[in-house]
Amino acid sequence: MAAFLNFNYIFVLCFLTLIPKPTSSSLNTNPNFDPEIDIFGDARVVDDGSCVTLTRPSASSSGLLLHTTPIRFADGVSSNPTSFSTEFSFSISPDNGDGLLLALVPGNVSPKFPGKGTFGLSLENNFLGVEFDTSMDNNVGDLNANHVGIDVGSLVSAVVGNVSSMDLILNSGEKLKSWVDYDASSKRLQVRLSRFNEPRPFNPIIAHAVDLLKLWGDKQVFVGISSSNGNSQQLTSVYSWKFSLRKVPTGMHSLPADPRGYSQKKHDENFRLHKRNYSPMSILAGLIFVTGCAALVTFVLLFMWAIFIGRFEESPAKIPTHHADFRYEKIDVAVEKNTNDEKLEHKCFS
């Protein structure tokens, strides 16, 4: 019996040693990181707490940066959906490793981090991941060895973005920055990427529609950043990480995932609203208003014409007002010839 108990004790002790333990860190003093973060596996805090290296420059190295406070997309108290936003900066050395993965996994993720496999995680079919992949794996249909993908329950990405089209290389050793935003009202996940010293891009490199409330319900979800280098000596470092949640009140809309689409939607709504408001009385009132404006303009124009144009016209000729005196005279005309003729005629007939 004692031997059996000793065997059980040794078995439990060996099992517990296989579970990765969080490594002590001084990230709490770094304002670039959220306070409740632990590190697992080969992850180490370096440079006086200013950076976390997830992998080491040796083969088969992996590490995890984990938010220890879980989140819920349905808290059971209110029906308000949960949106999230996160941003982090990182660099990957010029080797052909797995790259980096932002993962949201239901349940405690630390036992699912054996330090083996892609990105060092043992992922199930209900996880959500954003991968920054620096290797090309034909088994999962990778686009190339320089892409960003959104994974939903599978390492076969639902949507892929070519980082080379942005004139960026993930494993160049250059410091990069990424923004990942999920809007619960539109059920849309967007990923943005740029150089570290550049502003947040307006357009995402990839976007995908996914309903996280339907995917996880009221389960506790943990958020982590993990990396593994496979058979290479790829070194992955994280320089900052912030994660925030926001509740969307029922009946209201949160910040739109696509501002241009939101603007078009508002334009269509306003057009329909104005169209509904066109009643006969409003049309009559509009006609009266337009007629009154036209009459006022006509009056002003005529008034200006009378002032400025009428003064230049010539005045008509005046007719004298006094009376003219007229006199009629009788004019006697003596025609001598005719008298002589009459006398001659009288003589002939006699």
Cβ–Cβ under 8 Å, residues 20 and 110:
yes
* CATH number where 137 lies: 2.60.120.200
Structural domain includes residue 346: no
pLDDT of 212 above 70:
yes
Please state the pTM of the whole predicted model.
0.65
Residue in this structure with the two tokens 């007629």, named with its chain if needed:
291
Tens of pLDDT, residue by residue over 277-331, are 556 777 888 888 888 888 888 888 887 877 777 665 554 555 555 555 545 555 5
Report if residue 312 sits inside a domain: no
What is the DSSP code string of 106-147? ES--GGG--S-SGGG----TT-EEEEEE-S--GGGT---SSE
> Residue 62 region, left (φ>0) first, then alpha (ψ -120 to 50), else beta?
beta
pLDDT score of 94 more than 70: yes
Q: Is residue 112 part of a domain?
A: yes
Q: What is the DSSP annotation of 223-268? A: EEEEEE-TTS---EEEEEEEEEEEE--TTS--S-S-HHHHHHHHHH
Ramachandran category for residue 124: left, alpha or beta (phi over 0 → left; psi -120 to 50 → alpha): beta
- Domain contains 40: yes
Alpha-carbon distance of 161 to 164, in angstroms, equals 9
Contacts of 21 (CB under 8 A, 6+ apart): 40
Decide if 16 is inside a domain: no
Which residue carries 């036209």 as its tokens?
294
Q: Is 33 inside a domain boundary?
A: yes
Task: Provide mean pLDDT across the span 219-228.
Answer: 92
**What domain range includes position 81?**
21-268
Nearest residue to 223 via CA among 72, 89, 21:
72
159 is a domain residue: yes
Using an 8 Å Cβ cutoff, are 231 and 57 in contact?
no
Q: How many domains does the chain have?
A: 1
Is 229 domain-assigned? Answer: yes
Quote the CA–CA distance of 129 and 98 in Å, as a whole number. 14
Instruction: Say if residue 46 is exposed, middle or buried (CB neighbours under 10 Å; 0-12, 13-18, 19+).
Output: exposed
Instruction: List pLDDT tens digits, range 5-34.
Output: 343 433 333 333 334 444 445 577 788 999
Q: List the beta bridge partners of residue 83.
A: 246
**Angle 223-235-91 (CA atoms, 0-180°, nearest 5)?**
65
